A and B are shown apart, each in its own frame.
Chain A
Amino acid sequence: GAGVSQTPSNKVTEKGKYVELRCDPISGHTALYWYRQSLGQGPEFLIYFQGTGAADDSGLPNDRFFAVRPEGSVSTLKIQRTERGDSAVYLCASSATGTSGKETQYFGPGTRLLVL
Chain B
Amino acid sequence: DAKTTQPPSMDCAEGRAANLPCNHSTISGNEYVYWYRQIHSQGPQYIIHGLKNNETNEMASLIITEDRKSSTLILPHATLRDTAVYYCIVREGSQGNLIFGKGTKLSVKP
Q: A residues bordering B, Cβ < 8 Å?
A: 4, 31, 33, 35, 40-45, 48, 50, 55-56, 59, 91, 93, 98-102, 104-110
* 6 closest cross-chain pairs (CB), A and B: A42-B100, A101-B93, A107-B43, A45-B97, A48-B96, A104-B46
B43 to chain A: closest residue by CB: A107
Q: Does B91 interact with chain A (Cβ within 8 Å)?
A: yes
Q: Across the interface, which residues of B come within 8 angstroms of A50, CB to CB?
A: 96
Q: Across the interface, which residues of A come within 8 angstroms of B92, CB to CB?
A: 101
B100 and A59 form a contact (CB under 8 A): no
Once A42-B87, A42-B103, A91-B44 are accepted as A-B contacts, the answer to whether A105 and B32 lie under 8 Å apart by CB is no
**Please, how many angstroms separate the alpha-carbon atoms of A4 and B33 in the complex?**
23
How many A-B pairs have beta carbons closer than 8 Å: the answer is 62
**Please, how many angstroms separate the alpha-carbon atoms of A45 and B49 in the complex?**
19
Give the size category of B's interface with A: 20 to 34
Once A101-B91, A101-B92, A101-B93 are accepted as A-B contacts, the answer to whether A45 and B46 lie under 8 Å apart by CB is no
A100 and B2 form a contact (CB under 8 A): no
B100 and A91 form a contact (CB under 8 A): no
Q: Across the interface, which residues of B come within 8 angstroms of A100, CB to CB?
A: 93
Q: Across the interface, which residues of B come within 8 angstroms of A110, CB to CB?
A: 42-43
B43 and A108 form a contact (CB under 8 A): yes
B44 and A107 form a contact (CB under 8 A): yes
Which among B31, B46, B87, B92 has the highest number of chain A CB atoms within 10 Å? Answer: B46
Contacts A31-B96, A42-B85, A42-B102 supplied; 9 other A-B pairs, CB < 8 Å:
A33-B96, A35-B98, A42-B100, A45-B98, A45-B99, A56-B96, A100-B93, A105-B98, A109-B43
